[in-house]
Amino acid sequence: MIWFTEFSPTKLNNQPKNHMGGFLDIQFTEVGEDFLTATMPVDERTHQPAGILHGGASVVLAETLGSVASYMCIDPEKYVAVGLEINANHLRPVKSGLVTGICKALHIGAKTHVWEIKIYTDKGKMNCVSRLTVAIINKP
């Protein structure tokens, strides 16, 4: 297990919701030995004007997954995980339903973490792939 301590989707979903992930109704669904998954609805909150999933909403899902995964890997009494760089390739449009992000580590170092996040439609087709680099800094 790559996590600093045990987490469950319930524990992650019971965090305060007064942030971007809460506004977009991102819900954590599975904590595996080395991966984390979450869903996000494709609706009026996440659409762009053409009625399809906004690329920025996909990036929010990816950064939420990677940032939370980094938080789960560190001692929160000593460190803070902050996004350093993110990129995303949007592969196909999505009009409705749920998208599911699956986050896996590419690198877990003392000062940086790199995560790959693949996002799938509810029909199982990948619609976005993203890579997030997170800086691990001393807690102020």
3-state secondary structure the chain: CCCCCCCCHHHHHCCCCCCHHHHCCCEEEEECCCEEEEEEEECCCCECCCCCECHHHHHHHHHHHHHHHHHHHCCCCCEEEEEEEEEEEECCCCCCEEEEEEEEEEEECCCEEEEEEEEECCCCCEEEEEEEEEEEEECC
Residue among 33, 63, 85, 116 flagged as catalytic: 63
To the query of whether residue 63 is one of the catalytic residues in this protein, the response is: yes
Q: Which residues are catalytic?
A: 63
